[in-house]
A and B are shown apart, each in its own frame.
Chain A
C-alpha cells in the first residue's frame, strides 16, 4: 500500500516505512540509543529528500524519547537543574543549527553537508566502538574480567570558574562545560536530525562526572526538549517536517522499541556493542559511497521562492 508523503512529495510503501521505524525502534530498544542517527540515513537512502528526512526524524525522536524520559522521571532518575541548563544552552545550539540548515539549503549545499557530517561522525564513532568492543571481547576470551574504566575524580574542567551546585547529581562544577556541551549537541542534533543521546551520555559521564543513576534520564529529557524545539524551528523556518512520515515512523519505532528492549536482556553486552559498531560503520560507508560515486544525474532543481503568476 503506497502512502503519499505530502511534504516529501513522493509515495512510499507504508509497510516499508513502518518496518524502517520498527527496525530502528528495535535497535534503539536493544542498544539504548535514540536511533535518529540510523533512521535519518535510512530515509535518505530510500529517496526522501535529506532536508525532509532530518526534520521529520526530529519529531520522531521526540516520540521515541518520551516514554523513556517518563519512566526515568518516575524513578527519580532526572536531574532537572542540570537538564534545564543543558536545554537552555541546547536551544541556542538548535537555533544556530536550524539557521545553518536553512542557509546551506539556500545555497544548495545541504545534502552534501549532511552526508559529509554523517560520514565523519558515524565513521569515527563506529571505529572507536569497534575497537573498544573487539578489545573487550578479546579480553573476555583471554579469561580476564573486563576492567571497567572508571573516571578519575578530577579533570581540568573542575578548575573553571562560575561553578554551580547540582544537588541531584551531587556535582559542583563550572557552568561553562555544561553550556558548551548543550550548545554543541543542540547544533549537531538540529543539523543532522539526531537526538544526540549517544554523544551526550559519554560527555556527561566523562566530562562532567554525572553519576550513572541520573545520566540516562537527564540525557533523555534533554533530547526530548531539544528535539521538540528543533521540530518547531524546522517547521517554521524550512517547512520540511512531514507529519505523515513522522507519525508512520513513530508508530513503527515505539512498537519496535518494546521488542528491542526485551531482546536486549537476552544478549551479551560485548556482542551487542560489536553489532552496533558494525552497523554504524556500514551506514558511514554508505554515505561515503553517495559522496564519491558519480550521481546518475548531475543536474538537479529546486524552488527558491514563490513567484507571481
Chain B
C-alpha cells in the first residue's frame, strides 16, 4: 500500500515538469528491513522514476537503462589456498582483502554488458572484480587469482550475484526492482547505488541506504555471542550444568 502511494506521488511529480535533461528519483520500500524467517529471507523493493531536469519539460529521447548495485557491510576477508605438504593438505598461500563487502549484488534492466562498455562498468565499480581490487593488500597476479576465487566462493554462497532482468520499467519513466535478501545476509548498513544510462552513457545516479536486521532467536544468539560474550559463555555453562543435573535427578533410581 505504502509503495503504491509513493509511486503515485512520484508519478504526480513527474507529470508537472517543463523542458530538457533528466534526473533520477529513487526510493526503497523499507529503510529498515527485518528478516524474521530463518529459511525464506526477505525482499526489498527499490523503485523510482526518471524525471526531466528542473526547468525542463521532457526527458531527452534515447534508450534508458538502469543498473543498481547493492553493497552490504564489509569485513576484512581472507582467501586461502590448500596445497599438499608431505602428503597432507593444508592452507599455504593467502590473500587479504580489506573492507570486502559481505554482500554485493548487481541488478539491471538488461545484461550489463549490453547497457554500457566494460570500461564504464569497471570505473563505476559495477563488476565483481572491482570489489576485490579496492582493498587488496598487494597488486599482483596472485592477488588477482585469489580475488577471482573469493568472488566465486561468495557467489556460491549467494552473497554475490547479478540479475539482468530484475529492474523492470513499469512505464517509460517508472522503474522498480525487487531484491531478495537471503536469510543469512549479514546485518548492517546497505548502500544501493542506482545508475541511469542513456544510450550507454551514465547520465544520473542516486545512492540510498537501508539497514538489514535479522530478528528472532538466531540473531539474538549471534549478537549475544559477539557483544556479551562473557555472559553468553556463562549462560552456556549454566545451561549445561542444569541439563546435567536435571538428567541426573530424573534418571536416578
* A residues with CB within 8 A of B: 2, 4, 6-7, 9, 11, 59-60, 62-68, 70-71, 108-109, 112, 116, 228, 231-236, 239, 241-244, 246-247, 250-251, 254-255, 257-258, 291-295, 297-309
Chain B 204-221, CB within 8 Å of chain A: the 1/0 string?
Answer: 000000000000011101
Which residues of B approach A to under 8 Å, CB–CB?
38-39, 73-84, 87-91, 94, 96, 98-100, 102, 146, 149-150, 152-154, 184, 188-189, 191, 217-219, 221-222, 225-226, 229-230, 232-237, 239-241, 243-245, 247-248, 251-252
Given the interface pairs A6-B221, A247-B239, A298-B82, the reply to whether A236 lies near B245 with Cβ below 8 Å is no
Are B248 and A71 in contact, CB atoms less than 8 angstroms apart?
Answer: yes
The answer to whether A7 and B79 have CB atoms under 8 Å apart is: no
Closest to A112 in B: B90
Min C-beta distance of A226 to chain B, whole Å? 12
Q: Which of B84, B153, B237 contacts A299 (CB 8 A)?
A: B153
Q: Which of A6, A232, A292 contacts B230 (CB 8 A)?
A: A232
Contacting residues, chain B, for A239 (C-beta < 8 A): 225-226, 229
Chain B contacts of A234 at CB under 8 A? 233
Q: Give the complex CA separation of A11 and B38 in angstroms.
A: 9
Contact A303 B77 (CB under 8 A): yes
Complex contact A243–B236 (CB within 8 A) = yes
* In the complex, residue of chain A having the shortest beta-carbon distance to the beta carbon of B220: A6
Q: How far is the CB of B86 from chain A (nearest CB, A)?
A: 10
* Bound Cα distance A244, B38 (Å): 14
B78, B218, B244: most-surrounded residue (chain A CB, <10 A): B244
Cβ A303 vs Cβ B75 within 8 A: yes
Asked whether, in the complex, the Cβ of B79 is within 8 Å of the Cβ of A235, the reply is no
**Pick from B38, B89, B252: contact of A294, CB under 8 Å:** B89
> In the complex, what residues of A have CB within 8 A of residue B77's CB?
301-304
| Inter-subunit contact B73/A309 (CB<8 Å) | yes
Q: How far is the CB of B78 from chain A (nearest CB, A)?
A: 5
Q: A4-B38, A7-B221, A308-B99 are in contact. Are A250 and B240 (CB under 8 A)?
A: yes
Task: Please determine whether B240 and A228 come into contact, CB atoms closer than 8 angstroms.
Answer: yes
| Contacting residues, chain A, for B74 (C-beta < 8 A) | 307-309
Chain A CB within 10 Å — which of B74, B89, B152, B184 has the most? Answer: B89
> Which residue of B88, B230, B252 contacts A71 across the interface (Cβ within 8 Å)?
B252
Contacting residues, chain A, for B244 (C-beta < 8 A): 62-67, 70, 250, 254
A-B contact list, 23 entries, CB within 8 Å: A6-B217, A9-B184, A66-B240, A67-B245, A67-B251, A71-B248, A112-B89, A239-B229, A241-B233, A246-B240, A250-B243, A255-B247, A291-B87, A293-B89, A298-B81, A299-B79, A300-B80, A300-B82, A301-B77, A304-B96, A307-B75, A308-B74, A309-B191
Find out whether the CB atom of B243 lies under 8 angstroms from the CB atom of A247.
Answer: yes
Q: A64-B244, A66-B241, A300-B79 are in contact. Are A244 and B88 (CB under 8 A)?
A: no
Give chain A residues whose Cβ lies under 8 Å from the Cβ of B94: 108
Q: Are B218 and A6 in contact (CB under 8 A)?
A: yes
B133 to chain A, nearest CB (A): 16
For B251, the chain A residues whose CB sits under 8 A away are 67, 258
List residues of chain A with CB within 8 A of the CB of B191. 309
Which residue on B lies nearest to A288, using beta carbons? Answer: B88
Contact B189 A309 (CB under 8 A): yes
